[in-house]
Amino acid sequence: MKCDILVAGAGLAGCTAARLLAEQGQKVLVLEKRKDIAGNCHDFRDENGITVHRYGPHIFHTNNKAVWDFVNRFTPFLPFQHKVLAYAEGRLIPFPINRDTICDVFGVNIPVTEVRSFLANEVAASTFHVPSQNFRDAVVSQVGERLYDLFFKNYTRKQWDTDPENLSAEVASRIPVRENRDPRYFSDKYQGIPKLGYTGMMANMLDHPGITVMTNADFFELRDGIERTLTVYTGKLDEYFGRRHGELNYRSVRFEFETVDETRHQEVSVVNYPNDYDYTRITEFKHFTGEKSDRTTLCREYPSAEGDPCYIVMTKDNLEKRQRYLADIEQASGKEPSLFLGRLAEYRYYNMDQVIEAVFLKLDGPG
Amino acid sequence: MKCDILVAGAGLAGCTAARLLAEQGQKVLVLEKRKDIAGNCHDFRDENGITVHRYGPHIFHTNNKAVWDFVNRFTPFLPFQHKVLAYAEGRLIPFPINRDTICDVFGVNIPVTEVRSFLANEVAASTFHVPSQNFRDAVVSQVGERLYDLFFKNYTRKQWDTDPENLSAEVASRIPVRENRDPRYFSDKYQGIPKLGYTGMMANMLDHPGITVMTNADFFELRDGIERTLTVYTGKLDEYFGRRHGELNYRSVRFEFETVDETRHQEVSVVNYPNDYDYTRITEFKHFTGEKSDRTTLCREYPSAEGDPCYIVMTKDNLEKRQRYLADIEQASGKEPSLFLGRLAEYRYYNMDQVIEAVFLKLDGPG
């Protein structure tokens, strides 16, 4: 088989790269290991007509107009401003922390102009190390012990299965605190949900005369039989190099879906459960699209060490291995021209817009 | 008749023990005196499609993950966070006492950080003995006279048919007071209502090839004809020994059920009536499950000296008798190997999860 560019992976990085390269006149072959495209953004309509995100809630948000214009070429977007409530002390409280969170938690009534001094007093009354030695110190030094205990301590335990004292301070280098009443989870200029779904959006990205897509197709099995001038690799970084420096760990999530006989289950699309139960959050998908049904589909998330990769694990060990693999890329580029793009191949945390932005940079995209 | 283990009683203790033993390879025979299983947790669907708890409201709550995982093997749980309001001074007030209770009762507006000093002032302005000589002293020394009079004094009179001055201070050794705004009755990590009902859950526990169940079957009538190597007894402690040291008293409740033509009767599942009427509380069952009906089923509880045992009575006399019976168990264990498990057989107050936990401990259960 022959092409100009072989793209391994039909997630957001692979689809964006394939599209840009095809529009630059290249013949692109995309191989996807799974049966479906769109990677962890994959969504589908279930039997109740509700669009379900197979790997947890994805809300598109960006401040980058070039990125926003690019994705809007492939699907219209429903305006959607994401709000999250945290279930704590038996009630639903706005999160991330803003003036209303503080009034609710502390039973006070303060104007937005006093948020900063209120938190400063909370911090002054708390105990922590300076400089921060771990995640707990980093959060407590920003919001004080009571808010840390309520929103961060147990959530972090669930998410990472370890005490916050064992996590590095950098993870919490800046906790978003709003000194106003803005209840939104993101404050980006552009926010929305693709009307055709992420799967529809990416199918349209791949719909170009220069692009051929194969699903259920493993890059490692097929690569030797495919002649090409460049490989765009979006799979796991360590796997490309046969795990020669050891495995790069991921945190995964078990997604438990349930459809219930209620028209509406919760006030907002995502409710976090920092302290209660074993799940970290419940998503009610209907909120994203306004789809109508007598039933509603929910997803509970249970963080787990096993399963599809969701989050990189920022331990010293993993970050050191990552450096060794990145050095291998440099070395290998002479004999096999290749680009490593996206969350898995770069082993870093990216929001969706950051993935696209990174591909633009490497492939001379718009903007 | 022949078995390995004879279990007397198909309540929560008996069902848990039967299941653990059957899974350990034992042949278990369960005898239940009543016509139904599930003991005082028994529930059923009434003619309006509403699940009614025959012996008053039961909400499952635990911090023990092994217990939570165990019960979840036999039924899914509906997430349910129990909230109670107390009807007092003509309005519904959050109970147990938290910051919002104080603001409501006293007509003040204080932050959560001032709850402690506010109560300290209340206590300082009150009259009581130190150390506490009785229930009244114990409560007043924690929350002051006004909150005691409003929420504890008359409720206790209804519940125990005696003045709080006649009850021991230990009963109120720690009154739950929340120095935050948490309106929940329990603060356990795991809380819920069994989707299949407690009866369904326990029927599934007993559904094992190693377990045989007989209802309407009296242990005392049948025991001589049953060959076994061990008896697990979950009935009344004094009855096992022919009441030789005298009767152990129980407080009972008369449950008055009524179905009314309203879709919703009250804001929350349970409203306490500390001061008004003769009942202690009204339960509206539909809240537990979200079951839909044009009608709703209520239960009013009238504490009583006569009837099915509900609560042990912690008088000096009863506790001394209990000690004598427990010594008898030691003595008898030589000639008839037996385990005494659960509320009745141990003559102690247990929440549901504590019953399971105690059985786990004695029978090498999980966790």
Can you tell me the distance from the alpha carbon of B201 to that of B64, in angstroms, rounded to the nearest whole number? 18
Of B99, B189, B290, nearest to A276 by CB-CB distance is B189
Q: Do A262 and B290 touch (CB under 8 A)?
A: yes
Nearest CA in chain B to A106: B112
Please say whether the beta carbons of B340 and B233 come within 8 A: yes
Question: Where along chain B do its domains lie?
Answer: 5-79+190-246+314-363, 84-174
The B250-260 sheet, strands edge to edge: B91-95, B84-88, B270-272, B281-284, B296-304, B250-260, B311-312
* Mutation target vs A (from B180, B188, B191; most A CBs, 10 A cutoff): B180
Best residue in A106, A151, A157, A295 for a mutation probing chain B (most B CBs within 10 Å) = A106
| CA–CA min distance B178, chain A (Å) | 10
Measured in whole angstroms, the distance separating CA B96 from the mean position of its chain's CA atoms is 17
Mean pLDDT of chain A: 95
Indicate the helix (H) or strand (E) that contains B302. Answer: strand B296-304
Q: How confident is the model at residue A330 (pLDDT cuts 50, 70, 90)?
A: confident
Q: What distance in Å separates the CA atoms of residue B133 and residue B128, rounded to the nearest whole number?
A: 9
pLDDT tens digits along B113-149: 999 999 999 999 999 999 999 999 999 999 999 999 9
Given a cut of 90, is residue A58 above it in pLDDT?
Answer: yes
User: ipTM, 2 decimals?
Assistant: 0.76
Give me the pLDDT at residue B183, please. Answer: 95
Q: Does the CA dihedral A299-A304-A308-A310 come out positive or negative?
A: positive
Distance from CA of B288 to the nearest CA of A (A): 15
Check CB contact under 8 Å for A90 and B81. Answer: yes
Say if residue A348's pLDDT is above 90: yes
Please state, in angstroms and rounded to a whole number, the distance separating the CA atoms of residues A340 and A346.
6
C-alpha triplet B96, B97, B98: angle, nearest 5°: 115
CATH topology of domain B5-79+190-246+314-363: Rossmann fold (3.40.50)
CA angle in degrees (0–180, nearest 5) for A120-A121-A126: 95
Does the predicted model carry a pTM greater than 0.90? no
**Residue B85 belongs to what H/E stretch?**
strand B84-88
* Residue pLDDT, tens place only, A202-231: 999 999 999 999 999 999 999 999 999 999
Residue ranges, chain B, pLDDT below 70: none
Interface of B with A (CB under 8 A): 65, 79, 81, 83, 99-100, 103, 109-113, 178, 180-184, 187, 189-191, 290
